[in-house]
Amino acid sequence: MADWMHAVLAFLEAPQRGRPAAGHPGTAYQQRVWAALRDPRRLHDQLHRAATRLGNPRASRAVASACAANTIAVAIPCHRVVARSGRLAGYRWGLTRKEMLLARGQRP
């Protein structure tokens, strides 16, 4: 089993120890987006803000694509990304699951 999968399983068993380390398969850009989203100070984020922090304010769709490519929702919190209006939009596993994950934290 891949090292990143072991890290995810360890996270599920003891979430208080922190998020799994990088190593989840993805492009270099996806890795950058996912690392930015793991920042615990950002309880919710908007696509354009995330894109701006990553150096390209016009790359909102690229950030959204990186979120859509995330296959380990519990470890990479793409559910925190909301539309510019603040409404919930697009999520790989559906808006119901996104709503539930946000309810466990602070909702935007």
Contact 36, 76 (CB under 8 A): no
Q: 31: helix, coil or strand?
A: helix
Which residues belong to the active site?
78
User: Rounded CA gap, 50 and 44, in Å?
Assistant: 10
Amino acid at 87: R
